[in-house]
Amino acid sequence: MAANYWASSQQNHWLLDRWNLAKSSEEDRKYLSEKDYVKIKIWFNHLIQKLAKRLQLRQQVVATAFVYFKRFYTKNSLRSTDPTLVLVTCVYLATKIEECPIHIKMVTQEAKHIFQADFGGFPYDSAKVAEFEFYLLEELEFYLIVWHPYRSLTLICNDLGMRESGLQYAWFLVNDSYRTDVCLLYPPHMIALAAIYLTVVLNHADFAPGSLGDRTDMRQWFADLNVDIEAVIEISQEILSITEVWSDWKEEKMPMLWKELKLPRQ
């Protein structure tokens, strides 16, 4: 593992620009509106979360699986693959990389339970998941270490003297960010700063008396940071925009939307 983010494979190989990211989803967006396409992606993130909950995985493992899934679909379309196989394999690989290994038979067994309602089960056995893992590794270019915003978030909040309630709110915003593509576009510390920015703007920050955050004008604090503040605002807007889509998101409508995307076209 690289000693710091700036020397990592994530910084040097897996930060994309918006044009390439949009290009990678062109095939799927021929058949769905932009809003429905976002809803479908949220659904598969939701299924990863459900599987992870059944397996009792910690949040960092889940976040790594999210990133693997997103990276895979920068090179493939949802329509031409089976995302259930992809996401189960992403979860399985994430458990190994994050040193939280779970037997492959347990992963496939829980997947069969999770996908029963919407997909009639999980039609693959452990051997198929193990086989697909090699293809997933190739698509990820064998760059498997993922840097997440959580560490930066905790360090910055502690330096500011933010109390647990504020940190928890910012943490939830980082979790929400994985419904977007910001993890493919920005360094993790920028996402952490965006979560803190939103926490402050939305009046959920709570600083201990006498702490740096308590005695500082936070608007000036952000202005003085040696970062691209416009990028922080862009990330914040992405997170806010996904909450608007999320408010109109209904899980029970997703299988029909998925069938519409998979429907063969002449």
CB atoms within 10 A of CB 124: 19
**133 and 154 both lie in a single domain:** no
**178 and 101 both lie in a single domain:** no
Please write the tens of the pLDDT for every residue from 156-200.
Answer: 999 999 999 999 999 999 999 999 999 999 999 999 999 999 999
The model's pTM is 0.94
The predicted pLDDT at position 11 comes to 86
* Total domains, the chain: 2
* Selection from 73, 69, 67 nearest residue 29 by Cα: 73
- 222 in helix, strand or coil? helix
| pLDDT range class, residue 3, cuts 50, 70, 90 | low
**20 and 126 both lie in a single domain:** yes
**113 and 160 both lie in a single domain:** no
**110 and 155 both lie in a single domain:** no
The four Cα atoms 193, 194, 200, 205 give a dihedral, to 10 degrees, of -60
| pLDDT range class, residue 2, cuts 50, 70, 90 | low
Q: What share of the chain is helix, strand, coil (3-state, %, to 5)?
A: 70, 0, 30
Distance (Å, whole) CA 191 – CA 198: 11
* Selection from 191, 93, 201 nearest residue 150 by Cα: 191
What residues does 207 pair with on adjacent strands?
Answer: 162
Q: Which of 24-33, 62-71, 126-135 has the lowest mean pLDDT?
A: 24-33
**75 and 173 both lie in a single domain:** no
**164 and 104 both lie in a single domain:** no
Please write the tens of the pLDDT for every residue from 60-86.
Answer: 999 999 999 999 999 999 999 999 999
| pLDDT range class, residue 125, cuts 50, 70, 90 | very high
- Domain of 88, in residue numbers: 15-140
DSSP letters spanning 37-59: HHHHHHHHHHHHHHHHHHHT--H
The domain boundary residue, chosen from 121, 140, 159 = 140
Cβ–Cβ < 8 Å for 1, 55: no
**20 and 130 both lie in a single domain:** yes
119 has a pLDDT exceeding 80:
no
The predicted pLDDT at position 266 comes to 39
Flag whether 212 is in a domain: yes
Give the pair of three-digit tokens for residue 250: 């209904």
The percentage of the chain sitting over the pLDDT mark of 70, rounded to a whole number, equals 97
Q: What is the CATH number of the domain that holds 173?
A: 1.10.472.10
